[in-house]
Chains A and B, each alone.
Chain A
């Protein structure tokens, strides 16, 4: 039935070298193994999640009274700037495309490593130094950057924001930007050139597909940001007037450049997490992903549309073409909707196992549904005029990014055992899920109402409108619940440390990473199964249960087959 052959690249020399390599800190500094780099990425980015989360908790505490005096006005500006920057630049992206993707993608396609292992190591070190650079702003005299994570010119010029904090922000972003570009190159090259025999493009797991599209989007978007930042730096220090009216420049140009990066960046953040969920839901439903090809085309069309929607962040500037960006942005709802229906279709008539990973994935779908539906409002210019820069927008994208956090947690619970070799505690995991999921809703839903009541974002105090206190308090309660969920995750990691060995395939997984050992050996595989579908490990473990084409039903022969009635 299914042949198993020694993987040809597995030679004794690799194991040999592994034993004689450096150890300890030198191993960490010199490694080019994608699994160790990916793990470093994951740990660093989760640390960034905790740091950014701490900023968020301070922000919520400040807003729990109308005249909050926990932090000063300028400290508040620094806090929300760095909260946004840390979460977007240093957590969400690197966690996905540097962390889990780095570990999982090569294994999912049967590759021994990333295509450019040393470039991969460089990516991580640039990311780490970039993170340190950006956060170092807090230790300078003028404090960290305080112009918001979008750094709109001319607020970000040297007159309105002098000081080293802003420059460190730019510098940190340059470093992490290059890190992202190198990772993008690496992902594309790996997926194009290092697939195992038989792993055709349309047999790649959806997570790998999404990472490929993410890689392409990184290559399209990040160079624009880097160029924009260099011009911003020149404006600040070399007397150019690219973004300042005084010298004949155009402030809105920064917004064009920033959002031309910024909106694809939204999908750079989101697609990896979509991919994680699309890998997790089928495994725990014991079915192939519903509409695999539709899923791939949906991902590609999100990528295609993402380059033409940037100015929906700029509707209220009054200088952009409203109908074009409105229809392009609305159209993105279509592939996103396809994805949601495909996830439901996957669960339909499945056998759903509510592990922590699956619960987190379901929590993702619900939260993302809320974030997605409210996103449709914002694609309509009149409604954007109405809600722009109010808490409605804040609530919308926090629904989206908290959904991504849920998906990321799903990914950690799902792939963590593969990476470390040990299972995480399911009881604490489920408790964490409820805190995270309910906390997210308690946190975001009041913010929608606050936005509709007219509370603008980035307000340190709201003395005119003390009636906003109640909704703010509710939201702060949600933020506290999310904080508790993060603590629970840390506790879970500590409690489950090296306790319950996972085995090679704890979830009855579908894709190649579940075929190898946990953790995988150096260069990943001792052997590979024949690859005849996007579920090689499933096909190997369950011969006779291949995915069925439309209109086909399984023959009644197999003994284990029980009617689903």
Chain B
């Protein structure tokens, strides 16, 4: 986890320095703001990883001498099959069509999105099919 933290914080720091140089030199706001936001976007997960890397035991994937047995246990919950991603994407598709062809496409669009959200959440509550 330390490497991840260092990488993201390093990138953020570089963006910060670059942003300071650029903004002070050019006085152009759009790029300055975007670089500043880029810096924050790196600091956000970076500081999270840094925080936990100091408090957690070393994970087996960070341990150069880990054996495969040390990773025993549940890796995570992986759903089997699910129709909800497809439903959600169809909803998004209709919403985009509403942007082009008329507001009435929002009805099936939002309907599908809400349906997919409910369905997907309920499926998640069941814990998927691991």
- Direct A–B contact in complex, judged by CB atoms less than 8 Å apart: yes
**Contact size class for A?**
35 or more
Rounded to whole angstroms, the CA-CA distance of A8 and B74 in the bound complex is: 8
Option from A8, A30, A126, A253 in Cβ contact (under 8 Å) with B82: A30
A560 contacts partner chain B, Cβ-Cβ < 8 Å? no
Add 8 more A-B contacts to A129-B90, A197-B66 (CB < 8 A).
A5-B68, A8-B69, A111-B75, A129-B89, A171-B97, A195-B61, A200-B3, A321-B22
Residues of chain A lying within 8 A (CB to CB) of residue B99: 167, 170-171, 233
Interchain CB contact under 8 A, A200 and B64: yes
Asked whether, in the complex, the Cβ of B86 is within 8 Å of the Cβ of A125, the reply is yes
**Cα distance, A115 to B61, chains bound together (Å):** 15
Closest-CB distance, A266 to chain B (whole angstroms): 16
A22 touches B63 (CB 8 A): no
Write the A203-221 contact mask toward B (1 if CB under 8 angstroms, else 0).
1000000000000100110
Quick check: is B92 within 8 A (CB to CB) of the other chain? Answer: yes
Question: A198 and B79 in contact (CB under 8 A), knowing A167-B100, A175-B92, A310-B31?
Answer: no
Q: Which of B79, B80, B96 makes the CB contact (< 8 A) with A175?
A: B96
Instruction: Answer yes or no: A477 CB below 8 A from chain B CBs.
Output: no
13 pairs from A and B in contact (CB 8 Å cutoff): A8-B69, A9-B74, A118-B82, A125-B88, A125-B89, A126-B92, A129-B89, A188-B45, A196-B68, A256-B28, A304-B15, A321-B25, A321-B28
Query: Is B107 interfacial (CB-CB < 8 Å)?
Result: no
Neighbouring B residues of A310 by C-beta, 8 Å: 31
Contacting residues of chain A (303-327) with chain B, CB-CB under 8 angstroms: 303-304, 307-308, 310-311, 320-321, 324
Q: How far is the CA of A307 from the CA of B36 in the complex (A)?
A: 11
Expressed in whole angstroms, the minimum distance between the Cβ of B73 and any Cβ of chain A is: 7
Chain A CB within 10 A, most for which of B10, B96, B130: B96
Q: How many residues of B contact A (CB 8 A)?
A: 62
**Which residues of chain A have C-beta atoms less than 8 A from B30's C-beta?**
253, 256-257, 260
A2-17 residues with Cβ-Cβ distance < 8 A to B are 3, 5-9, 13, 17
Complex contacts, B35 vs chain A, CB 8 Å: 307-308
Known: A113-B78, A133-B96, A197-B70. Is A121-B86 also a contact (CB below 8 A)?
yes
* Chain B contacts for A172, CB-based, 8 A: 96
List the B side residues contacting A307 at CB < 8 Å. Answer: 15, 18, 35, 38
- One digit per residue, 1 when the CB lies within 8 angstroms of any chain A CB and 0 when it does not, for chain B 32-73 equals 001100100110010001000000000011111111111111
- B18→A308 contact, CB < 8 A: yes
A115 / chain B contacts, CB cutoff of 8 Å: 76
- Mask, A109-122, CB within 8 Å of B = 1, is 00111010111111
Measured CB to CB, the nearest residue on chain B to A30 is: B81
The residue from A21, A128, A174, A528 contacting B68, defined by CB atoms under 8 A apart: A528
Chain B CB within 8 A of A300 CB: yes
Contact B31 A198 (CB under 8 A): no
Interface of B is mostly: helix
What are the residues of chain B within 8 A of A29 when measuring CB–CB? 83, 86
Identify the B interface with A (CB < 8 A): 3-4, 7-8, 10-11, 14-15, 18, 21-22, 25-26, 28, 30-31, 34-35, 38, 41-42, 45, 49, 60-76, 78-86, 88-90, 92-93, 96-97, 99-101, 120, 129-130
CA distance A129 to B96 in the complex (A): 10
State the total of A-B contacts with C-beta under 8 angstroms: 185
Which A residue's beta carbon lies closest to that of B45? Answer: A188
> CB within 8 A of A31: which of B14, B81, B96, B100?
B81
Q: Which residues of B contact A167 (CB under 8 A)?
A: 99-100
Please indicate the chain B residues that have their CB under 8 angstroms from the CB of A111 in the complex.
75
Residues of A within 8 A of B14 (CB): 304
Interface centre among A124, A216, A257, A304 (most CB of B within 10 A): A304
Verify A118–B63 contact, CB threshold 8 A.
no
In the complex, the answer to whether B34 meets A171 with C-beta atoms within 8 Å is no
In the bound complex, what is the Cα–Cα distance between A257 and B67 (angstroms)?
Answer: 47
Contact with B along A31-61 (1 / 0, CB 8 A): 1100000000000000000000000000000
- State which of B25, B75, B96 has its C-beta within 8 Å of the C-beta of A171: B96
Contacts of B28 in A (CB 8 A): 256, 320-321
**A contact residues around B26 at 8 Å (CB):** 320-321, 324
- Of B60, B64, B69, the residue contacting A5 (CB under 8 A) is B69
Q: How far is the CB of A414 from chain B (nearest CB, A)?
A: 26
Q: Tell me the bound Cα distance from A535 to B25 in angstroms.
A: 46
Q: Evaluate contact between B100 and A324: CB separation under 8 angstroms.
A: no
Across the two chains, which residue of chain A brings its CB closest to B2?
A201
Contacts A8-B72, A125-B86 given; indicate if A198 touches B63 (C-beta within 8 A).
yes
**Which residue on chain A has the smallest CB distance to residue B96?**
A171
Q: Are A197 and B67 in contact, CB atoms less than 8 angstroms apart?
A: yes
Chain B residue numbers with a CB within 8 Å of A202 are 3
Taken residue by residue from 164 to 180, chain A's Cβ proximity to chain B (1 for < 8 Å, 0 otherwise) reads as 10011011101100100
A216 x B11 contact (CB < 8 A): yes
